[in-house]
């Protein structure tokens, strides 16, 4: 099942652009006030829930296009999950591949927009990853 409907691609694109722009403004404000790196790790623009949902879905769609395959499942609850990268896929009795990455929406969107890096979020304990392919830093930001 698609993470976003074709008819919603424009809305998704606009939502992601809005989220990124607001997040960058917040990050710049934090940098001006000297709070720097640590503030970026909790940055979350105040936007309506539908904007967050569409931004997550569209960014997962972009990730899926960038690295298609059945080997790693990336979950951003409650708004979406995609399978990416080549490798062993799930067996018929267990639909989850051997590698699973789970992120909260604000963590995922910070990574997708380049506000933070994979290493920063991982070191902060914001990424749950199981399996050998637990690093998406080569694919981010989108």
Please list, in sequence order, all residues whose beta carbon lies within 8 angstroms of the beta carbon of residue 73, skipping any fewer than 6 positions away.
81, 82, 83, 84, 96, 97, 99, 100, 101
pLDDT, tens digit (0-9, with 9 covering 90-100), for 49-99: 999 999 999 999 999 999 999 889 999 999 999 999 987 655 555 566 678
Interatomic CA distance for residues 142 and 132, integer angstroms? 22
Q: What is the pLDDT of residues 90-112, one digit of tens each?
A: 555 556 667 899 999 999 999 99
pLDDT of the residue at 92: 57
Q: Return d(Cα 53, Cα 51) in angstroms, integer.
A: 5
pLDDT confidence tier of residue 131, bands split at 50, 70 and 90: confident
Q: Dihedral of CA 23/28/29/30: which sign?
A: positive
């Amino acid at each position: 099942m698609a993470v976003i409907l074709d008819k919603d691609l424009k809305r998704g694109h606009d939502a992601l652009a809005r989220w990124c722009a607001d997040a960058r403004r917040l990050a710049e404000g934090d940098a001006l006030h000297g709070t720097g790196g640590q503030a970026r790790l909790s940055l979350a623009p105040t936007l309506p829930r539908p904007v967050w949902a569409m931004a997550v879905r569209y960014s997962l769609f972009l990730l899926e296009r960038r690295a298609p395959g059945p080997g790693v499942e990336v979950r951003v609850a409650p708004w979406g999950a995609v399978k990416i990268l080549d490798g062993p896929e799930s067996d018929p009795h267990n639909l989850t591949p051997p590698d699973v990455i789970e992120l909260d929406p604000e963590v995922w969107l910070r990574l997708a927009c380049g506000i933070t890096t994979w290493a920063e979020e991982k070191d902060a304990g914001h990424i749950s990853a199981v399996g050998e392919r637990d690093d998406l830093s080569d694919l981010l930001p989108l």
